[in-house]
Amino acid sequence: MRKHAKLLKILGPAFAAALAMAVAAGAVPATADHPEQFTGSLVNMVAGARFSQPFILSIDRYSSAADVQRFASTLSSTGAYSLVDELWRQSAGYVSVGGRLGYPVSVVLANETPAGRTIHVVMNRVLSPFEVQYYTRSSRYPFAVIELNLDKNGRGDGRLIAAARLRWQGDTLEIESLGNQPFRLLAVQTN
């Protein structure tokens, strides 16, 4: 459980800083007319390195400052389920794991760091009929969050929180993971 608490302290403030930067400075513009793609390996740290699958993150556009402000306002005023509804109407690209059909991502933020840049992605996750019908604990974690840390050459690593809950605590966005550890994204590179 201590790893879970550590994750909140590391990822929550980093994402809140990215939100604040996007609102203050506007979104990072796309540098090419075609989607920016990242590839790498998704590793389940609970199952060990024996469970690894390739992933593709394709970004069509970065979220604007107005988008981020609207999402933050929706989350703080009407709650997470209203934000779920709002995010279903957004498409900023897709993520595909293991060669399966891509899943839409809703919010993409990037900010420059001394080492390169950090990209944060928020999306709705698909809830199973069982989760919805029986209102399981996991159904209260309707988001997925990706964080990529890239160097100046577009290479790096990251993490995926497959089931997350978002909420505001003062001026900080808290990201709570359902599981103890996120998935690791290794050997990430820009294509």
Closest by CA position to 177, among listed 143, 149, 147? 143
Residue-wise pLDDT tens digits, 139-155 = 999 999 999 999 999 99
Residue for token pair 């995926």: 160
Query: Which pLDDT band, with edges at 50, 70 and 90, does 32 fall under?
Result: very low
Task: Write the single-letter amino acid at 188.
Answer: V
> Residue 188: helix, strand or coil by DSSP?
strand
Domain ranges for the chain: 2-190
Residue-wise pLDDT tens digits, 101-125 = 999 999 999 999 999 999 999 999 9
